DNA sequence: AACGCAATCCTGTATATACAGGTTTACGGA
DNA sequence: TCCGTAAACCTGTATATACAGGATTGCGTT
């Protein structure tokens, strides 16, 4: 909250997400906002640019900034946010079951994904995500052990992201997601309520720290009928 | 190419995509770039910010800007670019078969997706995308007829995007993609080489113009084994 | 040789100003 | 009343300046 442009961004992002600003309504002009927040126009523009990039508003030259039609449950659109945040916003009942939490040596595949030597220790967390009473998502997290504070089952049941953000030793900077569709494994069938589904939506998530070192590799396996991914992109 | 920050952005985006700048290498400092391009530091910062947002570089406070490890075939990451651009970059042989091109009234589902009255005319294009000799993608495009110049089969075989961008009557501004996994339809089986696959990766693409009117709705149906979607996201 | 501190270079944030060009409003002449 | 033009307001781009704070370099003292 220290940065001016960030508080302006959060102000309007929150208002739009909560529906307190209706779609198509017009935001105050940049000059008006600058006066209202007691800052300069350039700072306001920084905040509006962020809102625009993230699909909250649309700016039209000569006219102003307008709230986009936003499906609340689509948020975050292609973001970095955790399962807990998304599940909480959706309003459905959800639950996380920590299947296993251990440290050890990575198998060769994970070691290659994490760009590390096979001798370095990692945290390995397996979690089952339950939504509406059905076990739908299987998350397999792998963390560089040396880079993060120690994990417990309780933390994994809540949100590892929140924990890491709070224990400000690590700063998450960016992430790359690769979505593919693959056959269900024996593990998927054992741990999830798969019904008759034979394929899974697989999201491989590569998370990087502020110094651009890869510190987390996650495989998130979703039952296909419950999978939905939203992406917002802008042409400059 | 008129905007200074845009030329700087393109300069470095191209260099990185083509591998002429190797990963982890350091870009010149903002002040150096400002001198080199004969512009101000703020303008350089605009270009670097764009590069950062789109996953080309990573900036570290006090150190500089560094080229990220980028898989050439992952580009564009969550972009708006057309099949032709992606297929051409991948280097594989590709082909587009225009199954049908017609104007008419939309069916109720498409009308609701396009936010229009059932009485307004639309263009309807169905295309099969062939990659490596296999029919893999089924694209069903729907355009507001009144908003775009007339289409021909030749244009559809190449790139509708390129055509629309050149015939500068319309300006594409942003797009929303929704990815889901659904059962294959009789139409999928008839038009594509589905092998044994019973499910499809479905990308619904909503494309908006500069004045934020929705003018295109596209359903892109991919054979699951060939589907791959990459997303890059940044924590601010 | 080792340590500590200052100088220097780097990016991040904020402010003020200027002009271009799109959009709307209002006024005045026909 | 109608039309056109000018004024006012809007966002887009570009420049110059200032200071905070992280990272690095190098010098000088111990």
Protein residue nearest nucleotide C15, by CA to C1':
A40
Q: How would DSSP label each residue in A173-208? A: EEEEEEEEEEEPPHHHHHHS--TT--EEEEEEEEEE
3-class SS string, chain A: CCCHHHHHHHHHHHHHHCCCCCCCCECCCHHHHHHHCCCCHHHHHHHHHHHHHCCCEEEECCCEEEECCCCHHHCCCCCCCCHHHHHHHHCCCEEEEEEEEEEECCCHHHHHHHCCCCCCCEEEEEEEEEECCEEEEEEEEEEEHHHCCCCCHHHHHCCHHHHHHHCCCCCEEEEEEEEEEEECCHHHHHHCCCCCCCEEEEEEEEEEECCCCEEEEEEEEECHHHCCEEEEEECC
Beta bridge partners of B220: B139, B203
The larger pLDDT score, comparing residue B58 to residue A85, is at B58
A178, pLDDT greater than 80: yes
How long is the CA B209 to C1' D8 vector, in angstroms? 27
Pick the CATH number of A4-67 from 3.90.1150.10, 3.40.50.11900, 3.40.50.1000, 1.10.10.10: 1.10.10.10
Domain assignments of chain A as residue spans, ordered by start: 4-67, 73-230
**CA-CA distances (angstroms) from residue A203 to A138, A218, B230?**
10, 8, 9
Name the DSSP class of A210: T
For residue B74, what is the DSSP state? G
Q: What whole-number distance in Å separates Cα of residue A227 and Cα of residue A28? A: 38
> In this complex, which of B175, B232, B235 lies closest to A172 when CB atoms are compared?
B235
pLDDT digits (tens, 9 = 90+) for A14-32: 999 888 999 999 999 999 9
| B164 phi/psi in degrees, rounded to 5 | -65, -40
A93 pLDDT more than 70: yes
Question: pLDDT grade, residue A85 (50/70/90)?
Answer: low
With beta carbons less than 8 A apart as the criterion, state whether A235 and B174 touch. Answer: yes
Residue B165: the pLDDT is 72
User: Average model confidence (pLDDT) for chain A?
Assistant: 87
Least-confidence region, from A153-162, A188-197, B87-96, B208-217: B87-96
Look-up of token digits 């991948």 = B90
**pLDDT tens over chain B, length 236 residues:** 578 999 999 999 999 988 999 999 999 999 999 999 999 999 999 999 999 999 999 999 999 999 998 876 665 545 555 677 677 777 778 889 999 999 988 888 878 777 676 677 899 999 999 988 999 999 999 988 877 888 888 988 888 877 877 766 677 889 888 889 999 999 999 999 998 899 999 999 988 888 788 888 999 999 999 888 888 888 77
Q: Show the tokens assigned to B155.
A: 């244009």
In this predicted structure, what is the pLDDT of residue B76?
52
CA distance A67 to A49: 13
d(CA B18, CA B22): 9
* Minimal C-alpha gap between A30 and chain B (Å): 19
Sign of the Cα torsion B187, A202, A234, B166 reads negative
- The confidence score (pLDDT) of residue A212 equals 79
Q: Per-residue pLDDT for A114 more than 70? A: yes
- Residue A20: half-sphere exposure toward Cβ, Cα within 13 Å: 6
Residues 6+ positions from B213 with CB-CB distance below 8 Å: B144, B147
Distance, CA of B58 to CA of B70 (rounded, Å): 11
Give the one of B177, B211, B233 whose C-beta lies nearest to A79's C-beta.
B233
Is any atom of nucleic acid chain D found less than 7 Å from the CB of residue B24? Answer: no
Q: Which CATH number fits domain A73-230: 3.40.50.2000, 3.10.20.30, 3.40.1410.10, 3.30.465.10?
A: 3.40.1410.10
Structural tokens at position A213: 């070192």
Locate B169 and state its tokens: 């009557």
Q: Give the closest-approach CA distance of A210 to chain B in angstroms.
A: 7
Percent of chain A scoring above 70 in pLDDT: 91
């Amino acid at each position: 909250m220290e940065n001016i442009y960030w508080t302006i961004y959060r102000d309007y992002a929150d208002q739009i997400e909560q529906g307190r600003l209706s779609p198509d309504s017009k935001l105050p002009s940049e000059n008006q906002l600058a006066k209202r927040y007691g800052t300069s126009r350039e700072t306001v523009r920084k905040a509006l640019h962020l809102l625009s990039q993230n699909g909250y508003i649309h700016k039209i030259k000569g006219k102003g900034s307008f709230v986009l039609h936003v499906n609340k449950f689509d948020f975050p659109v292609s973001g970095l946010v955790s399962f807990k945040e998304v599940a909480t916003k959706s309003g459905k009942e959800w639950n996380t079951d920590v299947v296993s939490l251990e440290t050890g040596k990575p198998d060769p595949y994970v070691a290659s994904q994490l760009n590390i030597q096979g001798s370095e220790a990692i945290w390995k967390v397996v979690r089952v995500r339950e939504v509406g009473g059905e076990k739908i998502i299987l998350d397999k997290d792998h963390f560089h052990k040396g880079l993060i504070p120690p994990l417990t089952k309780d933390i994994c049941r809540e949100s590892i992201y929140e924990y890491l953000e709070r224990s400000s030793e690590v700063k998450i900077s960016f992430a790359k997601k690769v979505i593919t569709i693959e056959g269900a494994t024996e593990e998927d069938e054992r741990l999830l309520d798969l019904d008759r589904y034979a394929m899974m939506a697989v999201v491989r998530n590569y998370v990087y720290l502020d110094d651009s070192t890869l510190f987390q590799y996650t495989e998130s396996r979703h039952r296909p009928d419950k999978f939905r991914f939203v992406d917002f992109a802008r042409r400059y």
